[in-house]
Amino acid sequence: MRSLYLFLLFTFSAPSCHPTNQIEGETEFIKGVYGNPATLLNAGYRFDSLGMNAVFVRSISLNQEFYTTAKEHGVKVFVEFPTLNGKEYLQENSEAWPIDEKGEQSPPADWFIGICPTHEGFKDYRKEQLLDILDKYVVDGVFLDYVHWHAQFETTEPILPETCFCDRCTKQFGKEIQREIPGESIPQKASYILTNHDKEWRKWRSDILNSWIEDMGAILQGAQPEAKLGVFYCSWFPADYDSALYRNLGIDPVAIAERADVLSPMLFHHMKGRPTAWVGEYTEWLGEAIQSEKTENPIIWPIVQAHNNPGVVSPEEFRQVMIEGSKKPSSGIMMFSDQSLVSEPEKLKVMRELYTK
């Protein structure tokens, strides 16, 4: 079966374009659905009849029946892993709550509650969860989600608190810069850090996230060395929102590319108030950014939006973001979410047409 990109190439591109969108080590263009794809099975569909060759299933939705059926349909199974989503853990471990520059628990950012990434108990908790998944299922890959400091970016008006200034974080940062952080209170220490060591602070925060990717990747490599490590992440350009991608969220896409096999920018255009063309523009920029740093064989599988929030994503709009997200250097595409397809048959038709040509 020809790849989705090959179809799009011959349909929409000039004859002089490169004849394939595949990269070394990849034998087929990834065509998937993210969320709880069992919704499609329950509605009477087969994954292979929809042209899919991959499912990206939330870890909470993964079970043996779904896994067996997906494999019978010949599709790859990638598992989403909610790395730094702290809502469940914080219910009984309040000491892991992210602390802001005022010394207070940073409030929930809309529906999302992050966690302090330096809390070792939480990291052990996540490691055990990942090992449990890998003990039960032979997967094609694990995709880390919520790999960012506490914030909310899936909106046109991001929520970007300054965290985390708990005693644990300030002590670790002090060791990093080989200096005891002065101050008798958290606000005093936070003020000192942001005034005198802002650059080092931002780098340290990014390094903390990178260490999470490395640690989860080591577990995956040790248990299932053939599986890919992917990362879902906020698809902002570096300068957006006063450089909030790095400053507030702690995300460095180039650093992620050095540690993960696959980057999946979350190109939710409607949530972020962007035109459909932005999806292709960002994908192209990401490929250039990674290659400029000499990262070998970057794999980019964007995730695009069909979900009606906020407002309505029309079937034609969905078609356009699927096409934009499939442009080179992308070597795969997935859409969010399965429920959108079941509730709106026209969107399902769009996906099937693109995936089966």
CATH of the domain at 242: 3.20.20.80
Instruction: For Cα atoms 241, 312, 57, give the angle at the middle one, nearest 5 degrees.
Output: 80
DSSP state of 48: G
Domain-embedded: residue 98:
no
Domain-embedded: residue 274:
yes
What is residue 128's predicted lDDT score, i.e. its pLDDT?
98
How far apart (Å, rounded) are the C-alpha atoms in residues 173 and 199? 12
pLDDT tens per residue across span 231-275: 999 999 999 999 999 999 999 999 999 999 999 999 999 999 999
Domain-embedded: residue 188:
no
Concatenate the DSSP letters of all residues of 304-334 into one string: EE-S--SS---HHHHHHHHHHHTSTT--EEE
CB 115 within 8 A of CB 169: no
User: Confidence class of residue 295 from pLDDT cuts 50, 70 and 90?
Assistant: low
pLDDT tens per residue across span 58-90: 999 999 999 999 999 999 999 999 999 999 999
Buried-exposed string 131-154: b where 16+ CB fall within 10 A, e elsewhere: eebbeebebbbbbbbbbbbbbbbb
CB within 8 A of 66, min separation 6: which ones?
37, 38, 41, 57
Q: Calculate the alpha carbon distances from 228 to 119, 140, 262 in Å.
A: 26, 6, 7
Domain-embedded: residue 254:
yes
What is residue 283's predicted lDDT score, i.e. its pLDDT?
97
Residues 7-36: what's their mean pLDDT?
A: 55
Q: Which domain holds residue 319?
A: 4-86+139-158+199-356
Domain-embedded: residue 81:
yes
How far apart (Å, rounded) are the C-alpha atoms in residues 6 and 210? 34
Which of 159, 158, 160, 156 has its CA nearest to residue 310?
156
pLDDT tens per residue across span 177-194: 999 999 999 999 999 999
Buried-exposed string 84-111: b where 16+ CB fall within 10 A, e elsewhere: bbbeebbeebeebbbbbbeeeebeebee
Domain-embedded: residue 14:
yes
What is residue 11's predicted lDDT score, i.e. its pLDDT?
36
CB within 8 A of 285, min separation 6: which ones?
237
Domain-embedded: residue 348:
yes
pTM: 0.92
What is residue 296's predicted lDDT score, i.e. its pLDDT?
66
For residue 15, pLDDT over 60 is answered with no
CB 45 within 8 A of CB 341: no
User: Confidence class of residue 293 from pLDDT cuts 50, 70 and 90?
Assistant: low
Which of 287, 223, 220, 301 has its CA nearest to residue 259?
220
Counted domains in the chain: 1
Ranges of beta strands (E only) in 45-147 are 54-58, 76-82, 141-145
Domain-embedded: residue 55:
yes
